[in-house]
Amino acid sequence: MENALTKVQLPNGLQVMLKEMHTAPLISQWMWYRVGSRDEATGITGASHWVEHMQFKGTPTYPAGMLDKAISRDGGIWNALTYLDWTTYLTTVPADKINLAMQLEADRMVNSTFEPDEVASERTVIVSERQGNENSPLFRLDEEVQSAAFRVHPYHHEVIGDMADLESMQRDDLYNHYRRYYVPNNAVLTMAGDFETQTMLKRIRKLYEGIPAGEQPPRQTRPEPEQSGERRITVEGPGETIFVKAAYQAPQGGHPDFSALTVLDSLLTGPSNLNLFGGGISNNTSRLYQALVERELAVSVNGGLQATVDPFLYGITITVHPDRSAEELIAALDDEIDKALQAVPQKDDLARAVKQAKALFAYGSESITNQAFWLGFAEMFDNYEWFTSYLDKLAAVTPDDVLQVAQTYLRPQKRVLGIYQATGNGASNG
């Protein structure tokens, strides 16, 4: 993390961030676009995710199928992810094989074809993916909780989109979405690895400076009204397992309270990994694990705080013990939340929670691929200085800060409480 960062904006608005690292003979390239489910109106929900799929269907220069083989042959990996606020494309390859990945990324910013037969084929794939998700109790519960939490803001719908839109969207809906948001002035190119910065910058300029800037992409500006009371929802479905999800209105990633809420999350459920490509660490010292799992009220408990552009949710997901009811579990959960609202944490508990949150953050920042990830991810909701100062902000959190964020964000009036009530039938909970 001590390596120098070079940050340049090309004349067409493309933001370029380069981090020269010679720890391994690898280069990781990420192209980030500021477009996700937040940018979708009713009728085209799921368009951002579908466009991401279409970006692997080829261009006249690089036909579909050729690139998978070429990048795999070079020992590389490539992937993509669509989220609430952004879409990103990553490639990590041996340093001497980066040229193909660079040429591909510049080409598909402009030249993806969206052939009608490929759109139809991918519709089948995505509808099937949506149907598979619907077989998961946790997906169904998450979707209902999220839609109850956001009645106005476009965070209302899942990234994959609503089935009605997946079945009705046409090729031009997708292509127009692509052309509207896949412009250099809406993108951030990040690279970390074994290269010489000025040489790499020259190659990037040659590939991208000829691409014209687009119009400023439109944004959905529909702020969510303040929630005025707890909302409870119940989802019934097959299976043998009951799940409970408590979701609290939470601040956006760049908010001053975010660090203290991260520490509170670590204290309650164990640390969350903001790096969506990283792993996790044990949460068996957390308050809710000890109060719910060790007392055999729950089988598992997990928390999650997301770094987003607009205020989103802090979620606690609990798998109820087979011998317990949702009501017993919720009563015990509320007891622990009440404790968090009434007293500052003990210094030793706070120190452990901070240490665990810092450790997980460090584990998710070590590799060349993760370094390139953080260059762009932090820019999606704040800026890269958010990342470089994150550990210091965690270390500065005080017991009073934790109490203050608990009293601000964990109030029942700001909660959506969801229960997945299993109806039996012997189906898998997937």
Q: Does the structure show a pLDDT above 70 at 427?
A: no
Tell me which of 262-276, 299-313, 341-355, 369-383 is least confident: 262-276
What is the H or E stretch that residue 196 is in? none
**CATH number, position 337:** 3.30.830.10
What is the residue range of 200's domain?
Answer: 5-208
> Are residues 176 and 257 both part of a single domain?
no
> Are residues 164 and 273 both part of a single domain?
no
Q: How many domains does the chain have?
A: 2
> Are residues 175 and 243 both part of a single domain?
no
Among residues 161, 176, 208, the one where a domain terminates is 208
> Are residues 201 and 265 both part of a single domain?
no
Residue 215 in any domain: the answer is: no
127-138 pLDDT tens trace:
999 999 999 999
Predicted local distance difference test score (pLDDT) of residue 71: 85
> Are residues 187 and 267 both part of a single domain?
no
pLDDT bracket for residue 361 (50, 70, 90) = confident
The string of DSSP letters for 48-86 reads: HHHHHHHTTSB-SSSBTTHHHHHHHHTT-EEEEEE-SS-
Residue 430 in any domain: the answer is: no
259-277 pLDDT tens trace:
999 999 999 998 877 876 6
pLDDT bracket for residue 278 (50, 70, 90) = low
Q: Does the structure show a pLDDT above 50 at 430?
A: no
> Are residues 150 and 91 both part of a single domain?
yes
Q: Does the structure show a pLDDT above 60 at 201?
A: yes
From CA 113, how far away is CA 237, in angstroms rounded?
Answer: 41
pLDDT bracket for residue 2 (50, 70, 90) = very low
> Are residues 104 and 195 both part of a single domain?
yes
pLDDT bracket for residue 202 (50, 70, 90) = very high
Cβ-Cβ contacts under 8 Å for 200 (sequence gap 6 or more)? 18, 191
Residue 219 in any domain: the answer is: no
Residue 429 in any domain: the answer is: no
378-387 pLDDT tens trace:
999 999 999 9
Q: Judge contact between 6 and 139, C-beta under 8 A.
A: no
From CA 359, how far away is CA 1, in angstroms rounded?
Answer: 14
From CA 215, how far away is CA 182, in angstroms rounded?
Answer: 11
Q: Which residues pair with 18 in a beta bridge?
A: 6, 191
> Are residues 235 and 111 both part of a single domain?
no
> Are residues 164 and 295 both part of a single domain?
no
Average pLDDT, the chain: 93
Tell me which of 36-50, 69-83, 277-291, 409-423 is least confident: 277-291
Residues in the chain: 430
Q: What percent of the chain has pLDDT over 90?
A: 85
Written as six digits, the tokens of 336 are 């622990």
Q: Judge contact between 112 and 59, C-beta under 8 A.
A: yes
From CA 379, how far away is CA 30, in angstroms rounded?
Answer: 12
Q: Does the structure show a pLDDT above 70 at 1?
A: no
Q: Judge contact between 372 and 192, C-beta under 8 A.
A: yes
> Are residues 198 and 259 both part of a single domain?
no
Give this prediction's pTM: 0.95
> Are residues 110 and 258 both part of a single domain?
no
pLDDT bracket for residue 364 (50, 70, 90) = confident
Residue 14 in any domain: the answer is: yes
> Among residues 354, 379, 82, which one has the least CA distance to residue 254?
379
Q: Is 207 helix (H, G, I), strand (E, B) or coil?
A: helix
Predicted local distance difference test score (pLDDT) of residue 230: 97
Predicted local distance difference test score (pLDDT) of residue 131: 97
Tell me the C-alpha to C-alpha distance, in Å, between residue 78 and each of 29, 129, 191, 199, 414: 9, 20, 14, 23, 39
Average pLDDT (75-99) is 95
User: E-strand spans in 83-206?
Assistant: 87-94, 187-193
Average pLDDT (328-351) is 95
Residue 213 in any domain: the answer is: no
Specify burial of residue 255 (Cβ count, 10 A radius: 0-12, 13-18, 19+). Answer: middle
Q: Does the structure show a pLDDT above 80 at 229?
A: yes
Tell which wins on pLDDT, 207 or 366. Answer: 207
Residue 129 in any domain: the answer is: yes
Residue 369 Cα to chain centre, angstroms: 16
175-196 pLDDT tens trace:
999 999 999 999 999 999 999 9
Q: Judge contact between 11 and 181, C-beta under 8 A.
A: no
Q: Judge contact between 262 and 272, C-beta under 8 A.
A: yes
Q: Does the structure show a pLDDT above 60 at 429?
A: no
pLDDT bracket for residue 83 (50, 70, 90) = very high
